[in-house]
Amino acid sequence: MGEMKPRAETKNHDSGDAYWRTWAARYRAELVRRIMPFWMEHGLDRENGGVYTCLDRDGSLMDSTNSVWFQGRFGWMAAYAFNHVRRDAAWLKASRSCCEFLERHCFDADGRAYFEVSAEGVGLRRRRYVFSECFAAMAYAEYALASGEAQWGDKALDLFRRIRMFMAEPERRMPPKYEPCVRTRGHSLTMILINVANVLKQISDDPVLDAQITESIGLLRRYFLHPEFKAVLETVGQNGEFLDTMAGRTINPGHCIETSWFLMDVAVARRDDKLLGTALTILDWSWAWGWDRIFGGIISFRDCRNLPPQSYEQDMKFWWPQCEAIIATAYAWRLTGRAKYRRWHEMVSEWAWGHLRDRYYSEWYGYLHRDGSVAQPAKGNLFKGPFHIPRMLVKAWELTRDL
Amino acid sequence: MGEMKPRAETKNHDSGDAYWRTWAARYRAELVRRIMPFWMEHGLDRENGGVYTCLDRDGSLMDSTNSVWFQGRFGWMAAYAFNHVRRDAAWLKASRSCCEFLERHCFDADGRAYFEVSAEGVGLRRRRYVFSECFAAMAYAEYALASGEAQWGDKALDLFRRIRMFMAEPERRMPPKYEPCVRTRGHSLTMILINVANVLKQISDDPVLDAQITESIGLLRRYFLHPEFKAVLETVGQNGEFLDTMAGRTINPGHCIETSWFLMDVAVARRDDKLLGTALTILDWSWAWGWDRIFGGIISFRDCRNLPPQSYEQDMKFWWPQCEAIIATAYAWRLTGRAKYRRWHEMVSEWAWGHLRDRYYSEWYGYLHRDGSVAQPAKGNLFKGPFHIPRMLVKAWELTRDL
């Protein structure tokens, strides 16, 4: 689909007040009236603690297997909504329930977290990656901030140090998927650690956090940005070299757009204009690769040499890339006032609201075909739950409410 | 979509001679003129030996990573076509090249096969499952039959015994995906071993082969057939109990239809009418679950409680379930003469020929959307290559040519 030509840009923060006011009101109302209530009512497990995510369109439970990612993600999300939108005691309690479920049931004897546990908390499956641990650390930190209970902040920092240790010696922790001769670097963990460290910085001034952020940004710039394709690649060689394989050519535009707004967070905190430039470059490149000029929406995968991507979901439209694009375009407009970002915000917001949102039951669909039709209507599974959509609603509301 | 009502059945082997003659001619011509030449020209690696499968629509190489499954699958397929369709020396040589590549490069020091190796034969990745080993054993056996070189038959039987050993002690070979408390049984290995043993029986009368077939059929009947859903389930508990989880409810109709014709092979060889009955029951159930009455074609996954299946590909139409259905319906018609099987054969054949076959380049597409439109046009990857389509063409030609 090639690159989009940006139109002439105008700096004009004054225009479109009504536009942003309308969206800000929608974000808050959707969060408070439809998204949080859906998970509070159907997801929370009042018997065992923690949260279920395998919910059908109407909220009915399809599978009681618990996603460990989502104990952390909702533990974080409920406290984040409490901290930023409304000091709702039920949200705080939900966050605590997820944090306690994590502590009690979700870690194995060697300190690694599970990926799946039963409703009663029996560990069912582990995976190699440390995402479960990352989301747990975010939950502990955000809950500590919400509740004022400092011990959860200590737990968060301990876990963060453990994550860095696991990453430094991956061989000792779990057998790698590929043989030792295969040495590649992945974009996703580099990126998520920026966000985890940012969350922890709210409750700790430990220098390890800023060191992690600086390190991750360095890795991103050195290895993953590939100007020859105007793309951030998901998988590169040990020294950032382009791998001309199906995995090496993969672009995940939604993922890159998420990275771009994580970097905007850091650029604002550090007043770092050069970093803002990097963030905007990533957004511009990734929008050009990701926006579907035929059907609209951000597509799942592209191949940087325009060969057919091989993942089944390659041309589907998932919920989360649309959420990341809404945040990133609103953020970019707020920081630069460039008209194209408002235009992109409108394109992706109208598309997401029109196609993902279920008008009859609460919450949004997650899995659409390329043309925007619903592929399957469940509201959650082990990978979709109360995270990207409510995070987008809170973040976008904060970015737009005073525009 | 519920169950299809069979129309009144008529025994009439005489009708439709022209119908079957037309299809038989198509099968052979497609195999000899379009499918085998595509892989012989674009797939075979004349430098390193073995076969590439990551080929784009026109046959150009997209990724030189070698699938170990396909060294075995094409090693088997080329010899199978040689044994059944035409004694083409180039096919025999291709089979030998794959067998030698397997022997030289595809096994690790502990006797387990890799899943991916580089073009030069460096092992890149292993997986837990023994499918690589199964396909290698099939290749060795079929090549032994084609070439008369008895040592490949010995290698096949040795490998088959090793597979049974790996299965008996899975813990010692590779860490399981799930924790020890999770005890489930999967349909796929049970089923494929019937086929592997059947191939090996051509070159060996070792009683282990018939014992494996009898054991697999017993497991299938005892654990995986669930009349309460009129379905064969993919994953059940240790004692065959229904698991009310997303994995436990999954029906893979193409997979079950493949099982049904593996059983027809055994029923014919053993003159076992009861087994033929089981095979037809599985075909009837699986057709009812799998045939898409809106868009046609066999769909990827269904949920036995009609909840939304969670895999991304759930409503896509893949190449291989259509191939299995063509074989199974032709086979069932040949063995019973029931009109519904001819009708089903026509439905799935017209759909497959019309949607999967690429009219401009050789070979067929693999990945279609539910409505039959092409999701991505590549002809191969690590999972699609010269196997299901040419196997269907040979098998269906043999089943129909003398009708």
Residue identified by tokens 């929608």 is A26
Backbone angles phi, psi at A237, to 5 degrees: -70, 175
**What letter would DSSP give residue A338?**
B
Q: Are A229 and A168 in contact (CB under 8 A)?
A: no
Q: Using CA of residue A46, residue A49, residue A55, residue A61, what is the dihedral sign?
A: negative
Residue B165: count other Cβ atoms within 10 Å of its Cβ. 13
Instruction: Please name every residue paired with B235 in a beta bridge, in sequence order, or none if there are none.
Output: B186
Q: Is A171 on the interface with B (CB under 8 A)?
A: no
Check residue B173 and give its pLDDT: 64
Rounded to an integer, the average pLDDT of B375-379 is: 98
Is B181 a residue whose pLDDT tops 90?
no
Is B14 a residue whose pLDDT tops 60?
no
Question: What does the mean pLDDT of chain B come to?
Answer: 94
Check residue B238 and give its pLDDT: 92
Give the one of A308, A369, A376 whose C-beta lies nearest to B56's C-beta. Answer: A308
Give the one of B178, B246, B316 whose C-beta lies nearest to A63's C-beta. Answer: B246
**Cα distances (angstroms) measured from residue B4 to each of B289, B347, B366:** 9, 13, 26
Burial class (CB in 10 A: 0-12, 13-18, 19+), B62: buried
- Structure token digits, residue A320: 């989360």
Nearest CA to A357 among A322, A382, A383, A397?
Answer: A322
Q: Is A378 on the interface with B (CB under 8 A)?
A: yes
**What letter would DSSP give residue A111?**
S
Check residue A177 and give its pLDDT: 82
Chain B partners within 8 Å of A179 (Cβ): 114, 123-126
Is B329 a residue whose pLDDT tops 90?
yes
Chain A partners within 8 Å of B68 (Cβ): none
Task: Find the DSSP H helices in B148-206.
Answer: 150-168, 170-173, 187-200
Residue identified by tokens 């924790």 is B179
B309–chain A nearest CA distance, Å: 7
Nearest CA to B78 among B95, B90, B53?
Answer: B95
Residue identified by tokens 């067929």 is B364
- Structure token digits, residue B17: 């001679």
Rounded to an integer, the average pLDDT of B59-81 is: 98
Q: Are A67 and A48 in contact (CB under 8 A)?
A: no
Residue A168: count other Cβ atoms within 10 Å of its Cβ. 9
Q: Which of residues 125-144 of A touch B (CB under 8 A)?
A: 125-126
Check residue B10 and give its pLDDT: 45
How many whole angstroms separate alpha carbon A67 and alpha carbon A29?
27
Backbone angles phi, psi at A317, to 5 degrees: -115, 110
Task: Write the DSSP assignment of A218-275 as a string of letters.
Answer: HHIIIIIEEGGGTEE-SEEETTS----STTTTEE-HHHHHHHHHHHHHHHHHHT-HHH
How many whole angstroms separate alpha carbon B152 and alpha carbon B155?
5
Give the one of A311, A369, A378 whose C-beta lies nearest to B369's C-beta. Answer: A369
Q: What is the pTM assigned to this prediction?
A: 0.94
* Total count of residues recorded for chain A: 403
Task: Find the DSSP H helices in B316-356.
Answer: 319-336, 339-355
Q: Is A57 on the interface with B (CB under 8 A)?
A: yes
Check residue A190 and give its pLDDT: 87
How many whole angstroms separate alpha carbon A354 and alpha carbon B163?
52
How many whole angstroms separate alpha carbon B227 and alpha carbon B142?
36
CB neighbour list of residue B160: distance below 8 Å, 6 or more residues apart: B137, B196, B197, B200, B208, B209, B212
pLDDT tens digit sequence for A340-383: 999 999 999 999 999 999 999 999 999 999 999 999 999 999 99
How many whole angstroms separate alpha carbon A121 and alpha carbon A99?
13
Check residue B6 and give its pLDDT: 35
Chain A partners within 8 Å of B126 (Cβ): 179
Q: Count of H helices and E strands in chain A?
A: 14, 12
Nearest CA to A380 among A396, A362, A393?
Answer: A362
Is B9 a residue whose pLDDT tops 80?
no
Which parts of chain A have pLDDT scores under 50? 1-12
- With an 8 Å Cβ cutoff, are B381 and A62 in contact? no
**Residue A323 region by backbone torsions, left for phi larger than 0, else alpha for psi between -120 and 50, else beta:** alpha
Residue identified by tokens 């029906």 is B251
Task: Write the DSSP assignment of B191-223 as a string of letters.
Answer: HHHHHHHHHHTTT---HHHHHHHHHHHHHIIII
Rounded to an integer, the average pLDDT of B219-242 is: 96
Rounded to an integer, the average pLDDT of B30-53 is: 98
Q: Are A32 and A85 in contact (CB under 8 A)?
A: yes
pLDDT tens digit sequence for B259-311: 999 999 999 999 999 999 999 999 999 999 999 999 999 999 999 999 999 99
Banded pLDDT at B172 (limits 50, 70, 90): low
Provide the strand spans (E) within B27-84: 66-67
Nearest CA to A83 among A141, A44, A43?
Answer: A141
How many whole angstroms separate alpha carbon B271 and alpha carbon B256?
22
- Structure token digits, residue A349: 């917001």
Give the one of A62, A178, A309 whose C-beta lies nearest to B246's C-beta. Answer: A62
End-to-end CA distance of chain B: 33
